[in-house]
């Protein structure tokens, strides 16, 4: 009986030791995982800290360059006539190549809102003319707003000031003006923009493809979908296109009735 009790006690001790060992191993595994996660967090924190330390001198240098550009621009204005026009143009071109210029601010006009908006309209027209031309002659006001603020650097302008400046462009007879489509979409167009020429290009593309939707035309012609859709609806109103609404989307086809009818009518008139 004593031997049996001894066996039971010995077996219990073995089970207890095994349980404690398993718990210790499991705990050690959890502690190891926690330690690895903590080390990873410390490494990430160190990398982020070093990244911001690297950015700080760059940001400081950028501010110094902007201040230097403003100082040079102020000297150009103060010494207008003391240096030749060619030297002035050359210096300003170097500043523009650096992506830095002296943007119009309310401080330039001593708080005069009317003068500020007028100067801002001229600046926006000059800066945006080339990007709009490269975009096909028209650009949404949202994209134009991003472009002008990117060019101005730290001296950002508000959406209201930009809209007011764009509204004044046509009155000032600038090379860029604002146009509103029937859907309410606002775009900026250059004075060389020809909507009829663009419409003909869209019609030719659709005729070549057989049919197309706005996304396909946008990809082929490198024009935003929103603007393509506006021109498609205008062409549809003129009877030049027919629509086909399917589960695959909205597709436009050349209006054969219109084109064939015009052709037959022209031939009939010539024969008479």
DSSP-assigned states of every residue in 119-171: HHHHHHHHHHHHHHHHTTSEEEHHHHHHHHHHHHTT----HHHHHHHHHHHTT
pLDDT at 3 (0 to 100): 43
**CA–CA separation, 262 and 258 (whole Å):** 6
Name residue, tokens 């490198």. Answer: 222
What are phi and psi for residue 211, nearest 5 degrees? -160, 165
Residues 6+ positions from 216 with CB-CB distance below 8 Å? 209
pLDDT at residue number 178: 92
Same-fold call for 106-190 versus 195-271: yes
**pLDDT at site 164:** 93
pLDDT of residue 66: 63
| The domain over range 195-271 is classified in CATH as 3.20.20.20 | no
- pTM here is 0.54
271 class by beta-carbon count within 10 Å (0-12 exposed, 13-18 middle, 19+ buried): exposed
CATH number among 1.10.10.60, 3.40.50.300, 1.10.3720.10, 1.10.10.10, domain 106-190: 1.10.10.10
pLDDT of residue 29: 60
Enumerate the domain spans of the chain.
Answer: 106-190, 195-271
Q: Are 61 and 54 in contact (CB under 8 A)?
A: no
- What is the residue-level pLDDT of the chain in tens, covering all 272 positions? 444 444 455 555 555 555 555 555 555 566 677 777 777 777 777 766 666 566 566 666 666 666 666 666 666 656 555 555 555 555 555 555 555 456 777 776 777 788 888 888 988 888 888 888 888 788 889 889 988 888 777 778 889 999 999 999 989 889 999 988 877 888 998 888 777 777 888 888 888 888 888 888 888 887 888 888 888 888 888 888 889 888 888 899 988 877 654 444 344 344 44
């Amino acid at each position: 009986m004593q031997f049996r009790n001894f066996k039971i006690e010995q077996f219990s001790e073995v089970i207890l030791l095994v349980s404690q060992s398993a718990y210790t191993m499991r705990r050690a595994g959890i502690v190891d995982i926690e330690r690895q996660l903590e080390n990873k967090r410390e490494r990430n924190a160190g990398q982020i800290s070093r990244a911001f330390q690297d950015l700080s001198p760059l940001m400081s240098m950028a501010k110094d360059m902007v201040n230097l550009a403003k100082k040079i621009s102020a000297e150009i204005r103060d010494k207008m006539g003391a240096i030749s026009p060619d030297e002035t143009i050359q210096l300003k071109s170097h500043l523009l190549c650096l992506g830095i210029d002296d943007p119009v601010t309310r401080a330039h006009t001593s708080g005069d809102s009317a003068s500020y908006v007028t100067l801002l309209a001229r600046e926006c027209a000059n800066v945006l003319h080339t990007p709009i031309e490269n975009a096909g002659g028209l650009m949404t006001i949202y994209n134009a707003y991003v472009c002008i603020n990117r060019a101005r650097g730290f001296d950002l302008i508000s959406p209201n000031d930009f809209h007011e400046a764009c509204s004044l462009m046509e009155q000032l007879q600038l090379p860029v003006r604002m146009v509103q489509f029937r859907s309410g979409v606002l775009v900026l167009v250059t004075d060389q923009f020809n909507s009829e020429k663009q419409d003909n290009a869209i019609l030719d593309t659709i005729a070549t493809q057989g049919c197309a939707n706005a996304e396909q035309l946008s990809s082929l012609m490198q024009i935003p979908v929103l603007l393509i859709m506006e021109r498609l609806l205008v062409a549809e109103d003129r009877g030049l296109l027919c629509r086909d609404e399917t589960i695959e989307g909205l597709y436009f086809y050349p209006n054969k009735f219109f084109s064939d009818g015009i052709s037959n009518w022209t031939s009939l008139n010539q024969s008479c």
